[in-house]
Chain A
Amino acid sequence: MKGRVLDDALLQLSTSDNVGTTVDDLSEGTKIDSDGRDVVLVEDVPFGHKVALESVEAGENVRKYGEIIGTATQPIDVGEWVHTHNCESTRGRGDRAATGGETA
């Protein structure tokens, strides 16, 4: 597998990533050692989903594969589940173009 697995629980695909991917269904309260820093899950996160390894401000980039996969729509704390409720794409946004906004 590309990347490295933190504590047999979270896969960080690239060192610049601020999210990790769960390699199993993980429960709230699970503590993961990320280079000597604890990442404690604030909620249950199913297999294959993402967890914040660092806090992310609203509007900041979310990074996986060493690349930008979207931006945070609200502040995200370490250990939070990162998905469509707090992260969105900046691409293919015809809805924004229609209202005169940017499409990326």
Chain B
Amino acid sequence: MAHTFEGYRRPDGRVGVRNYVAVIPTSVAASSVASAIADEAGPWARATPHQLGTSQPTPARRQTERVLVGIGRNPNVGAALVVELGTEDISAETIADGISNSGKTTETLAIREVGGTSNALVEGVSRLTRLKAEADRATREEADVSELVFGVECGGSDATSGIAANPAVGAACDRLVEAGGTASFSETPEFIGAEHILADRCADEETRERLLERVDMREGMAELMSVDLRGAQPTPGNQVGGLTTIEEKSLGAISKGGTTAIRGIVDYGEELPTNGGLVLMDTPGYDVESVVGKVAGGAQIVAFTTGRGSTTGNPLAPVIKVTGNPKTWKRMSNNIDVNAGTVFDGESIDSVGGRIFETLVDVANGRRTEAEHRRLEEFAINEIQPEELTTEVSG
């Protein structure tokens, strides 16, 4: 059966499932003002406050720029306002140019130039109103699910994640890939111990080599810092949930991408292809940063599995929360969209995967997720650490 949804066609051909005006600060220094402008304007305006953007070494700054541009280019964004204080290393013009290349209407606002925060608020809201009129010119049109880029993520994992929620989300990814869409999962540290399985599934030798190299690099971080990964992976919370080693966590984590061939691996925040099949993104293991990387890569919708109970959302992409832990479902169903804990009562993984896929289509059609209802909009950009700068990290 063909699945379609009503989406917003953008000038670059991609299709959004929401129609927001993004308010993107270039740095921490402009983040409070960006949030205030968006709050004042209304729920159609979404700010992406973050901690970076001032005095970063070049490779780290480039990564921040790539993410900010990617966020503005995400198809859920109809128009964008880039806000700077005016003293940052990253200029609002650079970010705005990167976004408007996609054909999207983009404006900038410099807080110092307009005379401080009060004027910035007034001027910002006025520019947002103009931008909203631009965004509203997008009409909803029928689009095929093959135009969806589906980011999948796990956080607050426990033993049920690898048994129920992740394979069920994987079954939904398989359906989407079969329909011609793109699914993407990430968190390279959580490939450690399962990379041989992923390597065997790579569509070509180049992808295979790149994948193994990225896993080596992430594992090498522990060596570089002379630390034992066991302190952080699995996390103390994962351990309470029954996960003993990183290998065990990884073997459960990789199932959320499904079972299809791995077509490629992109950098953190780099654009994900449409109609791309299963594509990995090389990200750290911190879930909020990892979600943001995939949204910057163009994911319109994210599925987020949690065993122990996470409440994470995103300002621009709906996040569908899935738990495989029946106790967590009972305790936190107001933050969770899909109960995969039913596999412990006999529902098949494939059947739960079907429910997740239907939820994906419904959410693409406008149904709001629990995180959207509650305006849970965590946003953080990964900062390349000084230790990482000494190794081969893409800039």
Contact = CB atoms under 8 A, between A and B. Distances in A.
A14 to B, nearest CB: 10
A49 B242 contact: yes
A49 B248 CA distance: 12
Interface stretch (A28-36, A52-60, A86-94): A86-94
A82 B244 contact: yes
Nearest to B240: A46
A69 interface: yes
B249 to A, nearest CB: 9
A41 interface: no
A67 interface: yes
Interface in B189-245: 189, 192-194, 197, 219, 221-230, 233, 239, 241-242, 244-245
Nearest to A94: B222
Contacts of B167: 2
B194 A67 contact: yes
A40 B189 CA distance: 36
Interface in A16-60: 21, 23, 46-50
Contact of B244 (A23, A67, A83, A97): A83
B27 interface: no
A91 B221 CA distance: 12
Nearest to B231: A95
Interface in B102-160: 158-160
Given A1-B344, A94-B224, A97-B223, A89 B245 contact: yes
27 contacts: A1-B164, A2-B167, A11-B163, A21-B159, A48-B159, A67-B194, A67-B251, A68-B193, A69-B193, A69-B247, A70-B244, A82-B244, A84-B230, A87-B244, A88-B245, A90-B247, A91-B192, A91-B247, A92-B230, A93-B228, A94-B221, A94-B222, A94-B224, A94-B228, A95-B226, A97-B223, A98-B226
Interface of B: 158-160, 162-164, 167, 189, 192-194, 197, 219, 221-230, 233, 239, 241-242, 244-248, 251-252, 307, 325, 327, 343-344, 348-349
